[in-house]
Amino acid sequence: MAKKRNSGIHAFRANEWLINDYARQIRSLSREIIKIAAIGDFGDLTDAEMLVRSALISAALDRYSEAIGPWAESVASKMFRAVAIRNDKEWREVSKSIGRQISTGFDNPVIDATIRETILKNTSLIKNIPRESGERISRIVRAGLNDGKRADTIARELMATEGFAKNRANLIARTEISKATTEITRVRAVEYGSPGYIWRTSKDGAVRDSHAKMEGVFVEWDKPQALDGMTGHAGEFPNCRCYPEVVVSAYANESRQVASIPEEGLWQKMRLNLQKDRAMLQKSRFILKLLRKPESRTRLAQCLPHQPRVALLGECVG
119 binds Zn ion (CB under 5 A): no
Asked if 137 and 191 touch (Cβ cutoff 8 Å), the reply is: no
211 binds Zn ion (CB under 5 A): yes
Residues 212-241 within binding reach of Zn ion (CB under 5 A): 240
Beta-bridged to residue 245, according to DSSP, are 11, 198
Shortest distance, position 245 Cβ to Zn ion, whole Å: 14
Shortest distance, position 201 Cβ to Zn ion, whole Å: 6
Shortest distance, position 246 Cβ to Zn ion, whole Å: 16
Per-residue contact flags (x/-) with Zn ion for residues 164 to 203, judged by CB under 5 A: ----------------------------------------
27 binds Zn ion (CB under 5 A): no
Q: How far apart are CA 150 and CA 260, in angstroms?
A: 80
300 binds Zn ion (CB under 5 A): no
Residues near 126 by Cβ (< 8 Å), separated by ≥ 6?
26, 29, 68, 72, 75, 76, 172
Q: How far apart are CA 256 and CA 263, in angstroms?
A: 10
Nearest to 174 by CA among 13, 2, 7, 5: 13
Q: Which is nearer to Zn ion, 136 or 179 (CB)?
A: 179
Detail the DSSP E strand segments found in 148-224. 196-200, 218-220
Asked if 264 and 222 touch (Cβ cutoff 8 Å), the reply is: no
Per-residue contact flags (x/-) with Zn ion for residues 238 to 267, judged by CB under 5 A: --x-x-------------------------
Q: Which is nearer to Zn ion, 32 or 245 (CB)?
A: 245
What does the binding site for Zn ion look like in residue numbers (CB under 5 A)? 211, 240, 242
